[in-house]
């Protein structure tokens, strides 16, 4: 039984609520970043919420994900603890890493967020190792490796697909193609080729869906997860999406000239949350009253979580040299 059917009466509204929650958390981070209390780099996933939510909603609590530098949405979508995430960004002892990792190292073992690491593609083999473990233990769980388009240029991406395919491991390679590696566009980094072609090279199936359409991602991921869970091996899933804010930090960076205002506006009109809000309203599922209640609940949770994080103590400096060895 997947997370949603256990936790909610309505998959649709839950997908919407989860996207709205992630958007609100990250907008609050952006708003408060200038207070200079969150003193670590932040890579916001605003605009990419449908990918994370659609990918994680079909997963079981025991399934694991690994993430990269842009990990807030993945962490929250998989059920990672919000207060521990904010505590980490604020560098507090209550953070998920006790203040040792910052925004780029989010993990939550209880929620199945195994690791997040800001070196591109570095966590992909970790997901394959988790899948190998699930296979060795005959546990029936799956792992998901989140990555951006640039990760497909790394050698270890191909090493991981090859190995996973060879052993029919239960792992989903989930590529969020947001068209840019920092400021360098995909077409300056790769020939004119679909990212799903990589799957052909490694003899695994692939799917490509609109990454701003949460239901499309959810349905595709549900198929991929069922296949992997049934022992039929890995899948490469590519979703097309777009980062709204700057590569790193709370602001916008279109002024740098690496992408056009037209392109940005085109993607912004395809906001995953606005689009889905309209769809749910058309279906008569989301009324203004319901949305107001949902927004209020989310805001209260977020305000409380920020307050808890900000009021938590810093780690004792005397502990800095501890836990180098187990």
Partner 1 sequence: MPEPRERSGAQGIQEALDLSLERDPSVFLIGEGVADPKGIFGTTTGLCQKYGTQRVVETPIAENGFTGIAIGAALLGQRPIVIHQRVEFALLAMEQIVNNAAKTHYVSDGAHSMPLVIRLVVGRGWGQGPLHSQSLETLFAYIPGLKVLMPATAEDCKGMLLSAIEDNNPVIFLEHRWVHFVKGNIPAGYHTTSIDGPSHLWQGDSVTVISSSYMTLESLRAAKALSKEGCDVDLFDLRVVRPLKLDEIFESVNRTGRLLVVDTGWRTLGPGAEIVAQVTESCFDNLKQPPQRLGLPDHPTPSSRSLAAAFYTYAEDIALTVGDLAGISPLATRRAADELSVERQTHPIDVPHPSFQGPF
Window 161-190: residues binding partner 1 (CB under 8 A): 162-163, 166
Phi, psi of 180 (to 5 degrees): -135, 140
Tell me the C-alpha distance between 189 and 315, whole Å: 42
Considering beta carbons, is residue 1 or 325 the nearer one to partner 1?
325
- Does 111 participate in binding partner 1 (rule CB under 8 A)? no
Q: Which residues contact 134 (CB under 8 A, 6 or more apart)?
A: 140, 141, 142, 143, 169, 170
When binding is defined by CB under 8 A, the residue of 9, 36, 155, 187 that contacts partner 1 is 155
Per-residue burial over 231-248, b = 16 or more CB atoms within 10 Å of its CB, e = otherwise: eebbbbbbbbbbbbbbbb
CB 243 within 8 A of CB 82: no
Instruction: For the CB of residue 126, give the shortest distance to partner 1 in the complex, in Å.
Output: 3
Tell me the C-alpha distance between 33 and 28, whole Å: 8
- Does 87 participate in binding partner 1 (rule CB under 8 A)? no
When binding is defined by CB under 8 A, the residue of 100, 229, 232, 259 that contacts partner 1 is 100
Instruction: For the CB of residue 40, give the shortest distance to partner 1 in the complex, in Å.
Output: 13
Sheet with 113-116, edge to edge strand ranges: 113-116, 64-67, 143-148, 171-177, 235-240, 206-210
When binding is defined by CB under 8 A, the residue of 125, 148, 170, 250 that contacts partner 1 is 125
Considering beta carbons, is residue 29 or 127 the nearer one to partner 1?
127
- Does 6 participate in binding partner 1 (rule CB under 8 A)? no
CB 207 within 8 A of CB 270: no
Q: Which stretch binds partner 1 (CB under 8 A): 67-75, 98-106, 205-213, 245-253?
A: 98-106
Residues that bind partner 1 (CB under 8 A): 64, 66, 97-101, 105, 107, 109, 114-115, 117, 119, 122-130, 132-133, 135-136, 155-156, 159-160, 162-163, 166, 322-326
């Amino acid at each position: 039984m997947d997370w949603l059917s256990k936790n909610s009466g309505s998959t649709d509204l839950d997908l919407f609520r989860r996207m709205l929650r992630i958007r609100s958390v990250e907008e609050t981070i952006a708003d408060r970043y200038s207070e200079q209390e969150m003193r670590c780099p932040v890579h916001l996933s605003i605009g990419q919420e449908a990918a994370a939510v659609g990918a994680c909603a079909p997963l079981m609590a025991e399934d694991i994900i690994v993430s990269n530098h842009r990990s807030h949405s993945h962490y929250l979508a998989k059920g990672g603890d919000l207060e521990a995430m904010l505590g980490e960004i604020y560098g507090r002892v209550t953070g998920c890493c006790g203040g040792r990792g910052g925004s780029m190292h989010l993990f939550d073992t209880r929620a199945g967020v195994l690791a997040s690491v800001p070196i591109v593609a570095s966590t992909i083999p970790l997901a394959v190792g988790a899948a190998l473990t699930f296979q060795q233990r005959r546990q029936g769980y799956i792992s998901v490796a989140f990555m951006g388009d640039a990760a497909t240029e790394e050698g270890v991406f191909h090493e991981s697909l090859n190995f996973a395919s060879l052993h029919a491991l239960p792992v989903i390679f989930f590529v969020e193609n947001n068209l840019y590696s920092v400021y360098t566009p995909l077409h300056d980094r790769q020939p004119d080729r679909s990212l799903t072609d990589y799957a052909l090279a490694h003899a695994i199936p692939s799917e490509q869906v609109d990454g701003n359409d949460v239901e499309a991602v959810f349905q595709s991921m549900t198929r991929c997860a069922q296949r992997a869970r049934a022992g039929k091996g890995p899948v490469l899933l590519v979703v097309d999406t777009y980062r709204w804010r700057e590569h790193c930090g709370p602001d916008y960076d279109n002024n740098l000239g690496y992408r056009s205002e037209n392109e940005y506006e085109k993607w912004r009109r395809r906001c995953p949350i606005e689009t889905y809000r309209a769809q749910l309203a058309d279906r008569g599922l989301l009324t203004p009253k319901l949305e107001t209640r949902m927004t209020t609940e989310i805001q209260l949770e977020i305000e409380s979580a920020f307050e808890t994080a900000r009021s938590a103590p810093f780690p004792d400096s005397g502990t800095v040299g501890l836990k180098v060895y187990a």
